[in-house]
Chains A and B, each alone.
Chain A
Amino acid sequence: MTDRRSSNLTYRHTDILNVSIFIAIATLRVRIVIKFTIRVQHLIDRGIYDLCLWRLGSKSYVKLKMDKARTFVIPDKVCRRAGLSAVWFPSNKLAAHAYRHVTAHSQDKYSEFAPCEAMVHLVRFDVMLFDPIARKLINESNGTFLAGQKLVAQAGGTDIRGELLKLSRQYRSIVRACLENLQSEASKIESSRKEVCLELVVIFYNVEFLWHLCEILYVDVIPGDVVLPQIMEWIKFHFFHYERQAKGILSGEYGSSVLDNGAENEPEYWNTIIGLVLQGRLDGARALLKLHSASPSEPFKSVDYVMRTMPQYSVFGGLSLTEFNMRWKGWQNETACKLRAGTFASRKELELIMKLMVGDEEAFLEVKDQCGTWYQFMASWLLYTEPTVKSFDLSYHAHQCIAKFGGISRLKHSDLILLALMESDLHQVIRLIEQTSENGWFAAHLTNLLHHCGCLKILDSQQGNQSVSLATNLHEQLLLNYGTLLMSHRSLWQVGISYLDHCSAEGRAHIEVLLPTLPLGSEARALKIIQVARDRDLHNIVASTSKIMGMRSYQQRRLGNALTWALRSQDAGFATYLANKFLELYSREGKFHSLDLLDNLGSCMLVSDRLTFLGKYCEFHQLYHAGEFRDAAALLVSLLASRLAPKSFWMTLLTDALPLLESNDIVLTSEDTYELLNSMEELLGEGQIPDFGDTPGSNKLTTVQDQSVDTNSVVEEKVKLIRLALARNLARSLNHEGCLVD
């Protein structure tokens, strides 16, 4: 029985939902009540939060522990016997496995559990907010959030309260739009998704409900601090059960008897009128009273008069507060006189309504149940006792009304938040909001808004003066949490970063840690991450990401791609290594891979000497193939003369010089020839055996002996040829140059 009551309470706000959903929830509720024993006290403690625990009751292993930390059971026999250990892995997932600690002193043998099933259990938080349906909410609220930050940054010291109020309304309309989506989604889809949608509906309904009050009390600037009209709007907006009933009666939906016999035959007639009166919807109440068969009679006319003449306070009504109070008192005295005179005695329903309107406490207690909640009760009570109540008095009234509804202990989570709001205890509000189950969306955005409104400064004065501002701390912490959460999502990470960007103290460090751990996946994704890092001047992330992509390409044997990434990372060592690989491949296969890249290195080749050489060497080939032998020859000589070429490659260069030396035209001057000769002597003088793939780290396929026998003979042959060519060219060039001098 208690279960049912608590669930009723929890779902009270769902009045707003269309009927079909309400039925769906009701069936869900019944099922839950039948199936599970739920700790009632706990439900009341946790309010909206616990709604989410319910559904999973059917699947989960949730157990509640005394210290409120939950115990989760992993179904693994070995884990139970041996014990459990767990490690974290990105992003915020846990891997748990059976574990028995062994030390260096214990014997190295199979454990008592072997052979056993060694399971690893991956545990992760199932984030409601990552449901595809909430995506729009996340993105739209991000837009509003960023607009807010921009606004504050531009405002300087000017008052932007009005703008902030607009933002607050924007947030609420985003939530409302999300609710609409959820409802339409819930009405059409199958069971499992439906439950998720309904859960989200309840959560976000509450969010909007709380945000609205918060907006009234903290964001909106109300002249004279007369908050009641706004609070009445809030109540009317969220609880329109009676209004709907009234509409039904007025439009004759409740049967054709209304106009003939009077509407009082409707079972809900009086309840509806009282409900309307309690919400201050007097026009509706009057319209309903007119439908009563006895409406022309005297008591009805008096009631109509009282209702018509009740003064309504409005800032723009032209009345000062004192003037209004005087009028209001006069009106109430007049009504009280009528009551005492027994004007309404003949009709006890009318008498009750009048008693309510003069603020009679007994009458209010009588209709307590019709108010439903303590805050509705409070709003009605204040409407007829103290319509110009100031916001700082709300706390007192709230406590009075809560006492009438069974005291603090009966409050649900959302009630506690409302109470804290009325008590102006924002610290408590935020703490409670943090525990709600929309994964920090609410807390982060609301706190941010309140922060900009300057409301959080109160926190610091409340908490005593500490060196670091608690408010800023708290505000940043919530943004960090929310941003970090989004960072863990495959595609929402960019949204997450925009929140971290606005955390002045630790945001950058968070980005620095989280951004590189995003799985790189495709090249496009890697480039996007690099762009984001570059925008924030995080050059080490740019370099590191490029390097990782380069290593990956290299591992996949895509040398050209690897080199592109190496250039992006500006990693000289890696570029050198890859350049060597290219040269090695060239030596082995006689042609270059990824020639288009190598031919167009441009200034990038300056990253490393070896790469410069590679680039220049390719240029040599280009020139040679274009038939520009003179330029090609000059380049070749300069490569050797500048010692840019690795020694191991000299023989290749000298071999490349052969056709140039033997060409019909003289392309190498005597000086060039001397240079080549010099290089060759140096090479042979060092006794270095030129070897085609002698680059560091290369895998030699032939054994050392084979190599020396084979290559030596080849090299000797080559050396002879080159010497001959050099000598002939020297003779020719000297001859030619001699002629020129003459």
Chain B
Amino acid sequence: MFEAHSINTEHKDLIHDVAYDFYGLRMATCSSDQFVKVWDQDEHENWNLTATWKAHSGSVWKVTWAHPEFGQVLATCSFDRTAAVWEEIVGESPVPGERGMKHWVRRTNLVDSRTSVTDVKFAPKSLGLLLATCSADGVMRIYEAPDVMNLCQWTLQHEVSCKLPCSCLSWNHSFSRLHHPTLAVGSDDSNTGNGGKVFIYEYSENSRRWSKTETLASVTEAVHDIAFAPNLGRSFHLLAIATNNLRIASLKPLVDSTVQSGHTRFDINMVAQFEDHTSTVWRVCWNITGTILASSGDDGFVRLWKSNYLNNWKSVAVLKGDGTQAQTDSSTPAVPGPSGGVATTSQSSTTSMVPERAQIQRGVMNPYLFRLRKSFNSI
């Protein structure tokens, strides 16, 4: 069963990215309207807009939260060729402990890229306050704030050329201390002749350099998003890849190789490949335990994928947008399925939905609820 709750973000254009903080209690959205907005959930589970500001002079691609250990920190990247780090400042409040006015200040502007910065991600907190960016000119950059209490200072630690325009990156959040810091970078270069489009980079303590350890040769189409699954005790890593189809690759570190070269070699297998989107897949996202993958594609659907204990992946649910409101929904004739008809539910709540929806006010969330029925289990 699903329950849903809608928020009008009041962005003037489509949202490019939504990011949640570590606890899922704060939400940041960014859009083509160059604004970033921050929403906080109150104790009644209503979402309130607490900050909105013009962050860049171009479309804001991505927004991401730092670990709360570093305070309330956001990073954004934009078409305007910059990435920025933002920190929330709580203003003076008359009574200590009470929440004062909040505002976000730009702590730094990372201007090293000469082209659009396409992705920005904070590293796992065990590595310190590290920020990785990648840009359309094919450079992956790692920045560090050496003093975590002073976010104005960021040093460009590494600059790695990937040779192909980069579109996305993902840190490997592994808990094992045996694993070196690892990240994957994807390229949306459309020329299949240029070879693999997903690169695995690893940081070596000895040489103090990031170097490419693997290229996923089987992925030659443009890659639009990649995501390492949270690793909860598996011996291998899972990487979801959004390309002309959805793929899930398993990367099993080969133990011997580390000893010889100082770099981890991986035994890479495609454990799943799905054509269900029938066209390009744009975004992929794992849930917190790395058990369910959500993928969005050009078909306009969001599909949820889950593996069973035998590691077989299958689709468990599909979300789709529909402008047709409840009224039209009830008039839709039952579409016959293969085994004899699909249930079409008529909407008795039609009347209650429309007025509720109209109540959505500016800034304040007046959520309307619609409930979608689904057993949690079958997911």
Contact B69 A551 (CB under 8 A): yes
Contact of A120 among B18, B88, B147, B298 (CB under 8 A): B18
Q: Is A119 an interface residue (CB 8 A)?
A: yes
Contact of B321 among A60, A80, A92 (CB under 8 A): A80
Kindly supply a per-residue 1/0 record for chain B positions 88-131, scoring 1 wherever the CB is within 8 Å of any chain A CB and 0 otherwise. 10101100111100000000000000011010000001000000
Closest to A551 in B: B71
Complex contacts, B373 vs chain A, CB 8 Å: 52-53, 55-57, 60, 62, 126
Kindly supply a per-residue 1/0 record for chain A positions 67-83, scoring 1 wherever the CB is within 8 Å of any chain B CB and 0 otherwise. 10111111111111111
Q: What is the CA–CA distance of A78 and B321 in the complex, to the nearest angstrom?
A: 8
**Most A CB within 10 A of own CB, among B300, B309, B319:** B319
Q: What is the CA–CA distance of A103 and B189 in the complex, to the nearest angstrom?
A: 10
**Most A CB within 10 A of own CB, among B68, B72, B288:** B288
Kindly supply a per-residue 1/0 record for chain B positions 333-349, scoring 1 wherever the CB is within 8 Å of any chain A CB and 0 otherwise. 01001111111111111
Contact B345 A57 (CB under 8 A): yes
Q: Is B79 an interface residue (CB 8 A)?
A: yes
- How near does chain B come to A646, taking the closest CB pair, in angstroms? 16
Complex contacts, A361 vs chain B, CB 8 Å: none
Closest to B333 in A: A37
Q: Is A63 an interface residue (CB 8 A)?
A: yes
Known contacts being A70-B318, A118-B13, is A517 close to B24, with CB within 8 Å? yes
Contact A544 B69 (CB under 8 A): yes
Q: What is the CA–CA distance of A508 and B25 in the complex, to the nearest angstrom?
A: 25
- How near does chain B come to A434, taking the closest CB pair, in angstroms? 6
Contact B376 A90 (CB under 8 A): no
Contact A557 B15 (CB under 8 A): no
Complex contacts, B11 vs chain A, CB 8 Å: 118
Q: What is the CA–CA distance of A671 and B96 in the complex, to the nearest angstrom?
A: 46
Contact of B318 among A59, A69, A102, A577 (CB under 8 A): A69
Q: What is the CA–CA distance of A696 and B125 in the complex, to the nearest angstrom?
A: 23
Contact A85 B282 (CB under 8 A): yes
Q: Is B51 an interface residue (CB 8 A)?
A: no
Q: Is A392 an interface residue (CB 8 A)?
A: no
Contact A115 B233 (CB under 8 A): no
Q: Is A727 an interface residue (CB 8 A)?
A: no
Contact B20 A90 (CB under 8 A): yes
Q: Is A437 an interface residue (CB 8 A)?
A: yes
Q: Is A492 an interface residue (CB 8 A)?
A: no
Contact A84 B296 (CB under 8 A): yes
Interface size class of A (residues with CB under 8 A): 35 or more
Contact A86 B20 (CB under 8 A): no
Complex contacts, B24 vs chain A, CB 8 Å: 89-91, 93, 517, 519
**One of B26-34, B213-221, B257-265 at the interface:** B26-34
Q: Is B159 an interface residue (CB 8 A)?
A: no
Complex contacts, A617 vs chain B, CB 8 Å: none
- How near does chain A come to B6, taking the closest CB pair, in angstroms? 5
Complex contacts, A93 vs chain B, CB 8 Å: 24
Complex contacts, A436 vs chain B, CB 8 Å: 375, 377
Contact of B4 among A53, A66, A74 (CB under 8 A): A74
Q: What is the CA–CA distance of A271 and B19 in the complex, to the nearest angstrom?
A: 66
Q: How many A-B residue pairs have CB under 8 A?
A: 404
Contact A124 B233 (CB under 8 A): no
Q: Is B167 an interface residue (CB 8 A)?
A: yes
Contact of B233 among A60, A82, A509 (CB under 8 A): A509
Q: What is the CA–CA distance of A48 and B107 in the complex, to the nearest angstrom?
A: 56
Q: Is A439 an interface residue (CB 8 A)?
A: yes
Q: Is B22 an interface residue (CB 8 A)?
A: yes
**One of B193-201, B203-211, B323-331 at the interface:** B323-331
Complex contacts, B6 vs chain A, CB 8 Å: 76, 119-122
Contact B7 A99 (CB under 8 A): no
Q: Is A24 an interface residue (CB 8 A)?
A: no
Known contacts being A61-B329, A435-B378, A544-B69, is A82 close to B14, with CB within 8 Å? yes
Known contacts being A128-B1, A573-B149, is A119 close to B7, with CB within 8 Å? yes
Q: Is B54 an interface residue (CB 8 A)?
A: no
Kindly supply a per-residue 1/0 record for chain B positions 221-233, scoring 1 wherever the CB is within 8 Å of any chain A CB and 0 otherwise. 0001000001111
Q: Is B42 an interface residue (CB 8 A)?
A: no
Complex contacts, A128 vs chain B, CB 8 Å: 1
Q: Is A104 an interface residue (CB 8 A)?
A: yes
**One of A105-113, A244-252, A306-314, A393-401 at the interface:** A105-113
Q: Is A241 an interface residue (CB 8 A)?
A: no
Contact A115 B302 (CB under 8 A): no
Chain B interface main SS type: loop
Known contacts being A99-B15, A114-B14, is A35 close to B348, with CB within 8 Å? yes
- How near does chain B come to A50, taking the closest CB pair, in angstroms? 9
Interface size class of B (residues with CB under 8 A): 35 or more
Contact A104 B115 (CB under 8 A): yes
Complex contacts, A122 vs chain B, CB 8 Å: 4-7, 47
Contact B377 A437 (CB under 8 A): yes
Q: Is B188 an interface residue (CB 8 A)?
A: yes
Q: Is A505 an interface residue (CB 8 A)?
A: yes
Q: What is the CA–CA distance of A92 and B379 in the complex, to the nearest angstrom?
A: 11
Complex contacts, B375 vs chain A, CB 8 Å: 49, 52, 435-437, 439
Contact of A517 among B23, B175, B233 (CB under 8 A): B23
Q: Is A297 an interface residue (CB 8 A)?
A: no
Kindly supply a per-residue 1/0 record for chain B positions 44-82, scoring 1 wherever the CB is within 8 Å of any chain A CB and 0 otherwise. 000100000000001100000000111110000001000
- How near does chain A come to B189, taking the closest CB pair, in angstroms? 10
Q: What is the CA–CA distance of A528 and B93 in the complex, to the nearest angstrom?
A: 29
Q: What is the CA–CA distance of A214 and B70 in the complex, to the nearest angstrom?
A: 52
Contact A85 B302 (CB under 8 A): yes
- How near does chain B come to A416, taking the closest CB pair, in angstroms? 15
Contact A92 B288 (CB under 8 A): yes
Known contacts being A94-B294, A118-B8, is A61 close to B345, with CB within 8 Å? yes
Q: Is B163 an interface residue (CB 8 A)?
A: no
Q: Is A595 an interface residue (CB 8 A)?
A: no
Kindly supply a per-residue 1/0 record for chain A positions 417-434, scoring 1 wherever the CB is within 8 Å of any chain B CB and 0 otherwise. 000000000000000001
Contact A115 B12 (CB under 8 A): yes
Known contacts being A66-B337, A75-B370, A473-B309, is A127 close to B321, with CB within 8 Å? no
Complex contacts, A72 vs chain B, CB 8 Å: 2, 317-320, 372, 374
Known contacts being A96-B302, A505-B233, A509-B175, is A88 close to B292, with CB within 8 Å? yes
Contact A59 B377 (CB under 8 A): no
Contact B14 A36 (CB under 8 A): no
8 further A-B pairs in the complex, CB-CB below 8 A; given A77-B321, A102-B59, A119-B6:
A38-B343, A42-B343, A57-B343, A60-B371, A69-B304, A120-B6, A126-B3, A128-B1
- 12 pairs of residues in contact across A and B, judged by CB atoms under 8 Å: A37-B341, A60-B372, A62-B372, A74-B322, A85-B283, A92-B287, A96-B319, A97-B14, A123-B3, A124-B3, A513-B175, A513-B289
Interface residues of B (CB under 8 A from A): 1-16, 18-20, 22-25, 27, 29, 31-33, 47, 58-59, 68-72, 79, 88, 90, 92-93, 96-99, 115-116, 118, 125, 135-136, 147-150, 165, 167, 175, 188, 224, 230-234, 280, 282-283, 285-289, 292, 294, 296-304, 309-310, 314-326, 329, 334, 337-349, 353, 370-379
List the 5 closest pairs (A to B, CB-CB), nearest first.
A79-B321, A77-B323, A509-B233, A104-B136, A56-B373
Interface residues of A (CB under 8 A from B): 35-42, 49, 52-53, 55-67, 69-105, 108-111, 113-128, 434-440, 443, 470, 473-474, 477, 484-485, 505-506, 508-510, 512-514, 516-520, 544, 547-548, 551-552, 555-558, 573-574, 577, 696-697
